[in-house]
A and B are shown apart, each in its own frame.
Chain A
Amino acid sequence: MRLAARLLFGLVLLAAIAAVLLYALRPGLLPQTVRGKSVVAAVATLTRGEYLARAGDCVACHSVPNGRQFAGGREMPTPFGSLFVPNITPDDDTGIGHWNADDFYRMMHTGVSRDGALLYPAMPFASYTKVTRSDSDALFSYLQSVTPVQQKNRPHELRFPFNNREMLVGWRTLYFREGEFVPDTAQSAQWNRGAYLVQGLGHCAMCHTAINALGGSSESKAFEGGMIPNQNWYAPSLTSNREAGLGDWPVGEIADLLQAGASHRATTYGPMAEVVYDSLQYLTDDDATAMAVYLKALPMRDAAPAATSEARLVDPAVLESGRQVYATQCAVCHGDEGKGQPPAYPPLAGNRSITMASPVNSIRMVLNGGYAPGTFKNPRPYGMPPFGQVLRDSEAAAVVTYVREAWGNSGTPVTPSQVNELRKLLPD
């Protein structure tokens, strides 16, 4: 009897265990709702990371045109030799497959690579240091999700002594201030969002702040403009009312210029067209407006005095020759009075990118022409033809002089030799 009772108890116990196991293993018992939420959150992080990668324009430097995205290899000529941009796809051997979010944040925040090497400042870590940890993590998650590409990094080809990374300790002491963006509580949330994007991921200072002989740019000259090394374009000052200072622009026009690439006031060409095409056109209206609000509010300060009337003196014969070229070639689009037909054809009268001290961009436009970028908001851009093949140096100089001085414009004359200098450089 006792044996039978024991057996019975054992069987009941086994049945109970089996029932519990079956219940536990039954499909769908796992806490699905919680798990679902975390997956949704992870996907949202990836989407945010992708957006931030656009805002940071990572793709422009970390891919070769028509090459695999983020696989690096693009040559970046600098006054110190050529840098070759690294592979940031998650490939284990040649990319950043073995990095983690801490490594990535340290690189963004301090300019120190995973292996401890100091990064060259062609990587805009002086701007990216402003990026928050949360945004850095989202960006990292996104980069880990792109297709890994096996492509070895090409060693940099820098001249002595710039090929010695220890030199960077000095550069960093002079020009690098580490630290995340700190919101200014006296300003609106919109201004702060704009400041965060412009100073951080947007890395606008890389071009719009002059680079000195050491390849550094000092904070006191932030956004005051400068020649872009090795590109032969001038990035105008964002703080001068005589250049691209935006103090008197409506916010909507600034946002249009950033997002669409063309506005009623001006149009983007060259390196800025590239930034709009690869990066800014993807921004939300809110973010473009926030950047516009911040840029408009930048304190205006002029680095140099206005041109004197003496500096503006011009041979009447040159002016007349320029006027004739203008009437024949330019007036059909830009109008007899230089008012343009914006946003298709930008105005020249009162356009500070024409009259600013550096005539480089105006000369380039006359020689090489240019198209605004094709964007979501302006998918069929208008363009200007090259005139380098139809105008002699003296004619090109005369017509640039004419548009810089006509209709009350305050520019100074340019010489045929300035035209000739730029003619020798290929458009890029």
Chain B
Amino acid sequence: MSACVAISVVAHAQPVPSDNTIPAFKELDSIDARLQGCVTCHGRSGEGTAAFPRIAGKPSGYLYNQLAAFRDGTRRYTPMNYLVAYMPDSYLREIAEHFANERPPFAPPSAATTTDVVIQRGRSLVTSGDTHLGVPACMACHGLALTGTRPGIPGLVGLRANYIVSQLTRWRVGERHAIEPDCMKHVASRLTDSDMTAVAAWLSQQDTPKNPVPQSAPVGRLPLACGSQRQGDE
């Protein structure tokens, strides 16, 4: 009898699809099942796809700020604005917390497509910044391992070059904003197109970190006042 039950359970269970962007979940009353709305773009664990960014493991304060900004229209990307338009804060925080705790494997870093000179410029901006331009090192805020800093600063590892360039460009032209004082506006408006390409190229080629967890606090005083960091977890 128990064998029959076991067989029938197996027969009815949906095979888990290998493609991570096809909806699948184990239990109906779970946050996984509720967030099936995210999987076709961000993957079942928030690992991202070729066209959409990794959200897994980013600090929950950062993720919440983005969700709230999409809902309130202060960050504009129509498909996201539409999906989260009618959600209460409590649910957005739960969603943010869920993806912040996900640890799916990283995709392998992309192969080099630019010259060594560009890569060196990117490495230099990420690790040391450019005092002449008034641009601090990415690492000063986004973490020594570039895995982000709780509560409000996102990790940059695992993001693809085209996503990084497009977000920096949106900041520079005023299409993307963060909570004031908007430090990324300061940074992006001082970077040239080729600087952005260089930063994105170097970042997207880094090996994935052994420990993907965001650092719990900045290494020291942040080089620029950051509205997101101050208010990220409020």
User: Does A394 touch B at the CB level, under 8 Å?
Assistant: no
User: Does A368 touch B at the CB level, under 8 Å?
Assistant: yes
Within the assembled complex, what's the spacing in Å between the Cα atoms of A276 and B86? 9
* A372: B residues at CB distance < 8 A: 86
Give the contacts of B66-122 with A (CB-CB under 8 A): 72-74, 78-79, 82-88, 90-91, 94
User: Does A386 touch B at the CB level, under 8 Å?
Assistant: yes
Main secondary structure of the interface of A (DSSP, over half): loop
The chain B residue sitting closest to A372, CB to CB, is B86
User: Does A216 touch B at the CB level, under 8 Å?
Assistant: no
* B41: A residues at CB distance < 8 A: 385-386, 389
Of the stretches B17-25, B143-151, B178-186, B210-218, the one at the interface is: B17-25
* A65: B residues at CB distance < 8 A: 72-73
User: Does B222 touch A at the CB level, under 8 Å?
Assistant: no
Nearest-neighbour CB distance to chain B for A274, whole angstroms, equals 6
Identify which of A274, A328, A331, A385 contacts B38 (C-beta below 8 A).
Answer: A385
User: Does A381 touch B at the CB level, under 8 Å?
Assistant: yes
* B94: A residues at CB distance < 8 A: 380
One digit per residue, 1 when the CB lies within 8 angstroms of any chain A CB and 0 when it does not, for chain B 17-56 equals 1000111110010010111111111000000000100000
Identify which of B25, B85, B90 contacts A379 (C-beta below 8 A).
Answer: B90
Q: A65-B72, A369-B83, A385-B40 are in contact. Are A332 and B23 (CB under 8 A)?
A: yes
Establish whether residues B37 and A384, one from each chain, have CB atoms under 8 Å apart when the complex forms.
Answer: yes
Establish whether residues B40 and A386, one from each chain, have CB atoms under 8 Å apart when the complex forms.
Answer: yes
Q: A379-B91, A380-B91 are in contact. Are A371 and B28 (CB under 8 A)?
A: no
Count residues of chain B with CB under 8 A from any CB of chain A: 34
Establish whether residues B87 and A385, one from each chain, have CB atoms under 8 Å apart when the complex forms.
Answer: no
User: Does B14 touch A at the CB level, under 8 Å?
Assistant: yes
Count chain B CB atoms within 10 A of each CB in A372, A380, A426, A428 and give the residue with the most.
A380
Count residues of chain A with CB under 8 A from any CB of chain B: 36
Establish whether residues B73 and A373, one from each chain, have CB atoms under 8 Å apart when the complex forms.
Answer: no
Identify which of B34, B37, B78 contacts A426 (C-beta below 8 A).
Answer: B78
Establish whether residues A344 and B28, one from each chain, have CB atoms under 8 Å apart when the complex forms.
Answer: yes
* A385: B residues at CB distance < 8 A: 23, 36-41
The chain B residue sitting closest to A341, CB to CB, is B28
Establish whether residues B90 and A382, one from each chain, have CB atoms under 8 Å apart when the complex forms.
Answer: no
Establish whether residues B72 and A329, one from each chain, have CB atoms under 8 Å apart when the complex forms.
Answer: no
Establish whether residues B82 and A427, one from each chain, have CB atoms under 8 Å apart when the complex forms.
Answer: yes
Give the contacts of A377-401 with B (CB-CB under 8 A): 379-387, 389-390
Establish whether residues A274 and B86, one from each chain, have CB atoms under 8 Å apart when the complex forms.
Answer: yes
Establish whether residues B40 and A387, one from each chain, have CB atoms under 8 Å apart when the complex forms.
Answer: yes
Identify which of B24, B37, B85 contacts A274 (C-beta below 8 A).
Answer: B85
Within the assembled complex, what's the spacing in Å between the Cα atoms of A368 and B21? 15
The chain B residue sitting closest to A64, CB to CB, is B73
Establish whether residues A371 and B83, one from each chain, have CB atoms under 8 Å apart when the complex forms.
Answer: yes
Establish whether residues A66 and B22, one from each chain, have CB atoms under 8 Å apart when the complex forms.
Answer: no
Establish whether residues A389 and B23, one from each chain, have CB atoms under 8 Å apart when the complex forms.
Answer: no
* B36: A residues at CB distance < 8 A: 333, 382-385
Nearest-neighbour CB distance to chain B for A96, whole angstroms, equals 26
Within the assembled complex, what's the spacing in Å between the Cα atoms of A373 and B85? 8
User: Does A273 touch B at the CB level, under 8 Å?
Assistant: yes
Complex A-B: 30 CB contacts under 8 Å: A65-B73, A66-B74, A274-B85, A276-B86, A277-B85, A328-B22, A331-B14, A332-B14, A332-B22, A332-B24, A341-B28, A344-B33, A344-B34, A369-B40, A369-B83, A370-B83, A371-B37, A373-B86, A379-B88, A379-B90, A380-B34, A380-B91, A381-B34, A381-B87, A382-B34, A386-B83, A390-B40, A426-B78, A427-B82, A428-B82
